[in-house]
Amino acid sequence: MVAEIFPTLYQFGDVFAFLILSAAGLAIIFGMMGVINMAHGEFIMCGAYVTTALAHQGIPLVPAQVCGALAAGIAGVFLEMTVVRSLYSRPLDSLLATWAVSLIVTQGMLILVGSSFAGIGTPEGSFQIGIYTYSTYRVILFLAALGVLAFIYLLFMKTRFGIYARATMQNAGMARALGMRTNVVYALTFGLGAALAGLCGALYAPTMTLIPTMGATFIVESFVTVVVGGTNVLLGTAPAGLALAVVRTALIGWKGQIAGQIGMLLAVMVMIRILPNGFSGWLGRWARSM
Question: How many independent structural domains does the chain possess?
Answer: 1
**Domain assignment of residue 82, yes or no:** yes
Highest mean pLDDT among 62-66, 88-92, 172-176: 62-66
Q: Tell me the percentage of the chain whose pLDDT exceeds 90.
A: 51
Q: What is the pTM of this model?
A: 0.93
Query: What is the rounded CA–CA span in Å between residue 100 and residue 81?
Result: 16
Residues 198-204, mean pLDDT to the nearest whole number: 96
* Residue 72 covered by a domain: yes
Q: Please indicate, yes or no, if residue 282 is contained in any of the structural domains.
A: no
Is 137 part of any domain?
A: yes
**Whose CA is closest to 30, among 78, 98, 116?**
98
Domain region containing 29: 2-212
pLDDT tens digits along 159-196:
999 888 888 888 888 888 878 888 999 999 999 999 99
In a domain, 289, yes or no: no
- Tell me, yes or no, whether 265 lies in a domain: no
- Is 237 within the bounds of a domain? no
Confidence of residue 83 (pLDDT cuts 50, 70, 90): very high
